Every structure is written in C-alpha cells, then in structure tokens.
C-alpha cells in the first residue's frame, strides 16, 4: 500500500461514515454534526493561514461573524435571497481580509497576533454597540437558508459544502500557490530572493482564509437563524484554535476533522458541564507541547511510518 | 464642563493608569527577556484576583496580607508555567518557536479561564477592599478602595524600578533584555533569568488582579478586558520597554477617560470605550511597530 492509497482509503472511510451518519443518528445529533461542519470549515480556514503560510490570526471567528452579519443584514434590508447574501458575505469578508493582510504585511508573530486581536475586538464591539442595526448582544434573527428545510437536508448541504471547501483548499495548497505559501512560512527573504511575490501571496492568503471563514459564518447564521456578537469573541477563537490544534493544524483536512470531532465531543460530554472545556483546554496545551502535528497528524504519521518500514522489509 | 469635573476625570484616568501600568509592566518584562508576548497574562491577573479572594474571604487574612499571598502564589505559578511550557521556545525543542509561544500561551489562557469557571463558578465575588468609604482631596472626591489600590500599585512600581536598577537580579534581567548572547558570555544564566522574568511578570499580573478584584469584581472573565489594555500599553510604549509601559499606561488612562465624553450618546459611548485603545493599538502597530520607545527590529 502506498502513501496515496493510505490517503485515499482514509478519506473514503471518513466520507462513508459521514454519509451514513444521518441514517443512524437522531435529529439532535444530526443538528450537532451540522454545527460541527461550520467549525470544520472555520478550523480548516485558520489552518490554511497558520499552518501553511505561518501567518497567525486571531480574527478568524470575527471574520465568520462578519460574513454572517453581512449576509443576514443584506437579506433583511436589501431583500437578497439567502444564497446571494452568502456570496456577499464571503466577498465582504474576503475584502476586509485582503485589507488586513495588506496593512499587516510588515508585522510578524506576536505583533501580528496582537493586531488581529485588536481587529477582532473592534468588529465585535461594533456589532454590540450598533444595536439599531444588529440588535446588539440580544442577537439578530436570520432568514433560513432552505425555506422549510429539514435537518437531514441541511446536513447533506453542509457536508457537501464542507467537502467542496476542503477540496478547493487542498487543490490550492497542492498547486504552485501552496508551495509559495510554504516558502513564505519557512523563509520569507529566501522566498522573495527566488522570485516569489511575497507581498501578493501574503495578502491573498489572508483574503482566501477570510473568505472561507465568512462562508462558514454565513452558513451558520442562516442555519441556526440567529447571530450574536459572541460568535466573534476571543473565547470562540480559542475554541477554533483548540479544534485546529487537536486535529492537526499543518493539514486542512485534519483541522476540519478536529472541528467536527471537538464539537461532537463537547455535546457528548455535556454532563461534565464546564469541566469538559477544562479537559479540552488542557488537551490543547499538552498536544501543542508534545504532539505538535495534532491527533490525526500523529496517527497518520504513525501509519505512514509503518508503511514505509514494511516496504523496506519486503 | 467645569474645571473640577475635568480634574476629577483626569484623576480617575491616573488611578486607572496605575492599575494598567502594573499589569502592563509584567508583559513588558516577559517580552524583554523572553521575546514572547504572554497571551495568558489576563488569566494570571484573574488568578491573582482569586488568590486574594481566597486569602481574604475564605481564610480571613487582612487585605494587605491577601495581596502578598496573591503575589507569591502567582510568582510560583509563573515559574511553573515557564518551566513546563515556555522553555521549549528558547532551548530549540519547538520547531517554530514564535508560533509555538503564541499558541501555547493562548491555549493556556483558555485552559485557565475554563478552570476558574469550573472551580469557582461564573458568579462575581467581592472580597473586602483595602480601604472603605471615600476620600476627599480638596474639592475632588475619590472612593477609598480605588485610591488605596492605586497607592499600593504606585509603591510597587517604584520598588520594581528600583529593584531592576540596583539589584544584581534586576541588572541581569536588563542585561538579558538588551543582549542575550552577551549576557550569557558574562556568566548570566539565561535560563534562570528567563524563569525569574516569567515569575516576576506573573507576580505583577497577580498583584494587579488582587488590587483590582475588590474594586471591580472577581470573576473568571475579569482578565479579558484588562489584558487587552495591557497589550495596547506595551505596544504603545514599545514592546519590552519598561519606561514605555508606564508612559503608555498614562496615555491610555487619559484617552479612555476623556474619549468617553466625546460621543454624545451615553450608552454608545460606554460600549465604544474599550475600542479606543484598540484603534490606538492598530494605528501604532501599522505606523510605528516599535512603539514610542522600542527599538527597531528587522527579521523575516
């Protein structure tokens, strides 16, 4: 079995499980996994930026909230159909992401982290303060994406979009662009000296990552039919970070699996109350410290290593 | 607006600045020595508030002793965190040290926040303050708890500055901040100074939390907003610069106090109060990333 075979088998297995789930699970769990798809896209979009380009951002959930608010408000006030609202939300998130990427070109590491925290908090505070428009912290009612859609219909729609997003990200990251991204992560000056347009790709990476986050936020808003500024809070950002880190943030698919996995486990362990968040917080710290590739990354590497060894023995 | 009202606002601004400075100095010292921004600083501040609450309300210690307990407890926690989680940043065990340092401290903050939520519950607690009632300074009236807490904060800041200037350990901290390699060549244990800096930074955050806890409330989320202010301050003054952190705190205290008066709609003005500093932060980072007093760094 080659590495490609391992990847294809793994992906096929995961996809089969997700395709069968709605026929096994009850309504409540279908709903939970659907929310998990929102986190999957969000965690993957964050991993795209942090894991591949090495640009840290704490504004990912703020971008999701922005996409959600833009879509919800355009449907409410301009009367766009929700699908076009989603598109508008994605475009605005991409534009703001482009702007942030452009402005923060000179910044690195912790400076970038602080700037993105500031952007995220400014967005959240604005959404809370402009209550005439957004209903503030009480939350804004949002039109449903599918008029009279059932849970199962939403589930398959979200599954399809998540798979499409991950396929798009993987295609992008495996193309030349992905190599540009990784070269920027490893050595920016080196990449620039070899002719990589560092300025362009750093900016575009922010825009692309924000666009995916905006899409996730719009979907979530039209599915739950309510959006509140707490969606943009740093605590939510912490949750997304935990998901990507636990899954493995050096691979968009692993990060996405971390998103669904953590969301489902959080619901499954509801009896533990607040303690489940303590457990996952601790798990995130331990994984960062001891298994930087995340759980799925670790398992995949272990399987791959066995394969290589077996190949050598034969 | 009358002169007295303006003076009152300015005094309030200075009191707030004293608290901010205490929290921000810890960040500045940690950044100076270890070159990392501690994203868990707000949660160390929160733990200081709870240490004070436990000492004063549960054990019945006098408030002054409660502050001491918080300082010592947080110094110990800081040293432990440095040993367990921060050390890989500079001993080569982390693949991408800067990324690791940001994510590990951010993850630690989530863990500590949820831990406090589970252990102590989300309810606000109000431990006994240092001083009750209010104090009149000429025509100005200030509440006693704020004034006493600000006074203690100022004394501590003065002690800290003197310690950094005149003691051997303080000199070692400054030496490592200025040049790591040179300090190591002159026989300073960079590892020990790193641990000392993190413990000191955590202790300062804890003390600030213990002083502020009775003035506002002790709740698990109490560190979230002050730490963002501390980021604004250290960025304003230049990351790692100690005088910069003090001047940054004074500027932010005044900007916030007077900025609130600028927006006529009072409820909106209150909602936007926390955003002023953030706009300042973004502006400084984009226009002058080294801050007012920091030194320029170029690295890819």
B134-169 pLDDT per residue, tens = 777 777 777 778 888 888 889 999 999 999 999 998
- Residue B111: pLDDT band by 50, 70, 90 thresholds? very high
Q: Pull the structure tokens for residue B4.
A: 């007295």
Inter-CA distances, B136 with B8, B141, B143, B153, B254, Å: 11, 5, 9, 20, 21
**Of all residues in chain B, what percent carry a pLDDT higher than 70?**
94
- Residue A1: pLDDT band by 50, 70, 90 thresholds? low
pTM of the full predicted structure?
Answer: 0.90
- Of the ranges A37-46, A292-301, B208-217, the best mean pLDDT one: A37-46
> Nearest residue of B to residue A280 by CA position?
B111
Please state which of the ranges B10-24, B90-104, B131-145 shows the lowest mean pLDDT: B131-145
CA–CA distance, B4 with B16 (Å, rounded to integer): 18
A29-55 pLDDT per residue, tens = 999 999 999 999 999 999 999 989 888
- Residue B296: pLDDT band by 50, 70, 90 thresholds? low
Establish if A232 belongs to a structural domain: yes
Inter-CA distances, A55 with A58, A101, A115, B30, B287, Å: 10, 9, 12, 22, 19
Establish if A312 belongs to a structural domain: no
Where in the sequence is the domain holding A254, given as residue range(s)? Answer: 3-307
CA–CA distance, B46 with B48 (Å, rounded to integer): 5
CA–CA distance, A280 with A239 (Å, rounded to integer): 9
Q: State the average pLDDT over residues B182-186.
A: 88
CA torsion angle for A294, B228, A233, B114 (degrees, to 10)? Answer: 60
Establish if A195 belongs to a structural domain: yes
- Residue B263: pLDDT band by 50, 70, 90 thresholds? low
Establish if A1 touches chain B: CB-CB under 8 angstroms.
Answer: no
Sign of CA dihedral A241, A243, A244, A245: positive
C-beta atoms of B275 and A126 within 8 A: yes
Establish if A313 belongs to a structural domain: no
Closest CA to B104 of B50, B37, B48: B37
CA–CA distance, A91 with A287 (Å, rounded to integer): 35
Return the residue in B82, B114, B256 with the most chain A beta carbons within 10 A, the one to mutate for interface testing: B114
User: Helix, strand, or coil here: B191?
Assistant: helix
Q: Which residues of B touch A58 (CB under 8 A)?
A: 106
Residue A232 region, left (φ>0) first, then alpha (ψ -120 to 50), else beta? alpha
Q: What is the DSSP string of A28-89?
A: HHHHHHHHHHHHHHHHHHHHIIIIII----S-HHHHHHHHHHHHHHHHHHT---HHHHHHHH
C-beta atoms of A273 and B118 within 8 A: yes
Sign of CA dihedral B101, B107, B113, B118: negative
A188-213 pLDDT per residue, tens = 888 888 888 888 898 999 999 999 99
Q: State the average pLDDT over residues A275-301.
A: 89
Inter-CA distances, B181 with B29, B171, B188, B189, Å: 18, 15, 10, 11
Maximum Cα–Cα distance across chain A: 70
Establish if A164 touches chain B: CB-CB under 8 angstroms.
Answer: no
DSSP 8-state class, residue B58: I
> Nearest residue of A to residue B277 by CA position?
A118
Rounded to two decimals, the ipTM of the complex is: 0.89
- Measured between CA atoms, how close is A163 to chain B, in angstroms? 27
Could you tell me how far CA B215 lies from the centroid of its own chain? 16
> Nearest residue of B to residue A245 by CA position?
B103
CATH topology for B3-287 is ABC transporter involved in vitamin B12 uptake, BtuC (1.10.3470)
Angle subtended at Cα A49 by Cα A210 and Cα A294, rounded to the nearest 5 degrees: 125
C-beta atoms of A122 and B268 within 8 A: no
How many CB atoms are located within 10 Å of the residue B137 CB? 11
B27-83 pLDDT per residue, tens = 999 998 888 899 999 999 999 999 999 999 888 888 889 999 999 999 999 999 999
Count of A-B CB contacts under 8 Å: 132
Sign of CA dihedral B147, B149, B150, B156: positive
CB contact set of A104 (below 8 Å; sequence gap of 6+): A112, A115, A116, A206, B285, B286
According to the model, what pLDDT value does residue A217 have? 95
| B1 has pLDDT over 70 | no
Q: Decide: A293 and B133 in contact? Cβ < 8 Å.
A: no
Q: Pull the structure tokens for residue A263.
A: 């969301």
Angle subtended at Cα A187 by Cα A184 and Cα A189, rounded to the nearest 5 degrees: 90
Our count of domains for chain A comes to 1
> Nearest residue of A to residue B299 by CA position?
A108
User: Helix, strand, or coil here: B213?
Assistant: coil
Q: State the average pLDDT over residues A291-301.
A: 87
Radius of gyration of chain A (CA): 20
Domain ranges of chain B: 3-287
> Which of B102, B115, B282 has the CB atom closest to A109's CB atom?
B102
Instruction: Say which CATH number the domain at A248 has.
Output: 1.10.3470
C-alpha neighbours within 13 Å on the C-beta side of residue B2: 5
CA–CA distance, A276 with A274 (Å, rounded to integer): 5
Q: Which residues of A touch B37 (CB under 8 A)?
A: 110, 113-114
Residue A54 region, left (φ>0) first, then alpha (ψ -120 to 50), else beta? left
Please state which of the ranges B34-38, B193-197, B261-265 shows the lowest mean pLDDT: B261-265
CA–CA distance, A51 with A251 (Å, rounded to integer): 7
According to the model, what pLDDT value does residue B300 have? 37
């Amino acid at each position: 079995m080659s590495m490609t075979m391992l990847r294809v088998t793994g992906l096929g297995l995961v996809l089969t499980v997700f395709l069968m789930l709605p026929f096994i699970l009850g309504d409540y769990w279908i709903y939970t996994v659907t929310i998990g798809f929102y986190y999957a896209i969000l965690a993957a979009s964050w991993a795209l930026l942090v894991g591949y380009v090495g640009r840290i951002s704490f504004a990912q959930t703020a971008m999701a909230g922005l996409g959600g608010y833009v879509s919800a408000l355009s449907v409410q006030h301009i009367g766009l159909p929700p699908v076009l609202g989603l598109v508008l939300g994605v475009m605005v998130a991409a534009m703001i992401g482009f702007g942030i990427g452009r402005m923060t070109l000179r910044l690195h590491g912790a400076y970038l982290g602080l700037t993105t925290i500031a952007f995220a908090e400014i967005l959240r505070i604005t959404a809370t303060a402009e209550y005439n428009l957004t209903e503030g912290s009480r939350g804004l009612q949002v039109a449903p994406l599918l008029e009279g859609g059932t849970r199962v219909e939403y589930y398959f729609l979200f599954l399809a979009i998540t798979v499409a997003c991950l396929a798009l990200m993987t295609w992008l990251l495996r193309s030349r662009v992905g190599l540009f991204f990784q070269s920027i992560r490893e050595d920016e000056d080196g990449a620039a000296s070899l002719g990589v347009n560092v300025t362009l790709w750093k900016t575009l990476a922010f825009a692309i990552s924000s666009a995916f986050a905006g899409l996730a936020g719009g979907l979530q808003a039209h599915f739950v039919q309510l959006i509140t500024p707490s969606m943009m809070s740093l605590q939510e950002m912490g949750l997304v970070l935990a998901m990507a880190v636990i899954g493995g943030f050096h691979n968009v698919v692993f990060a996405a699996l971390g998103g669904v996995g953590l969301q489902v486990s959080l619901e499954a362990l509801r009896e533990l109350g607040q303690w489940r968040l303590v457990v996952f917080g601790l798990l995130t710290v331990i994984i960062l410290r001891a298994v930087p590739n995340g759980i799925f990354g670790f398992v995949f590497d272990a399987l791959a290593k066995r394969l290589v060894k077996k190949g050598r023995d034969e | 607006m009358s002169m007295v009202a303006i003076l009152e606002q300015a005094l309030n601004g200075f009191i707030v600045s004293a608290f901010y400075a205490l929290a921000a100095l810890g960040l500045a010292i940690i950044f100076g020595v270890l070159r990392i921004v501690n994203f868990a600083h707000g949660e160390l501040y929160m733990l200081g508030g709870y240490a004070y609450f436990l000492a004063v309300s549960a054990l019945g210690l006098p408030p002054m002793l409660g502050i001491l307990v918080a300082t010592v407890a947080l110094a110990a926690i800081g040293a432990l965190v440095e040993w367990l989680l921060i050390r890989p940043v500079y001993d080569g065990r982390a693949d991408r040290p800067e990324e690791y340092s940001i994510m590990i401290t951010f993850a630690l903050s989530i863990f500590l926040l949820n831990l406090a939520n589970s252990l102590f519950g989300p309810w606000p607690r109000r431990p006994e303050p240092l001083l009750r009632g209010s104090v009149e300074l000429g025509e100005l009236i200030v509440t006693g708890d704020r004034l006493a807490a600000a006074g203690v904060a100022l004394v501590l800041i003065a002690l800290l500055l003197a310690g950094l200037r005149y003691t051997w350990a303080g000199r070692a901290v400054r030496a490592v901040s200025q040049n790591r390699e040179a300090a190591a060549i002159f026989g300073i244990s960079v590892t020990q100074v790193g641990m000392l800096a993190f413990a000191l930074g955590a202790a300062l955050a804890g003390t600030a939390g213990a002083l502020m806890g009775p003035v506002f409330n002790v709740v698990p989320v109490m560190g979230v907003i002050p730490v963002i202010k501390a980021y604004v301050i250290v960025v304003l003054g230049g990351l790692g610069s100690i005088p910069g952190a003090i001047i940054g705190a004074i500027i932010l205290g005044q900007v916030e106090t007077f900025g609130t008066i600028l927006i006529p709609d009072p409820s909106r003005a209150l909602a936007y109060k926390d955003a002023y500093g953030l706009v300042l932060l973004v502006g400084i980072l984009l226009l002058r990333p080294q801050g007012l007093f920091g030194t320029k760094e170029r690295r890819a």
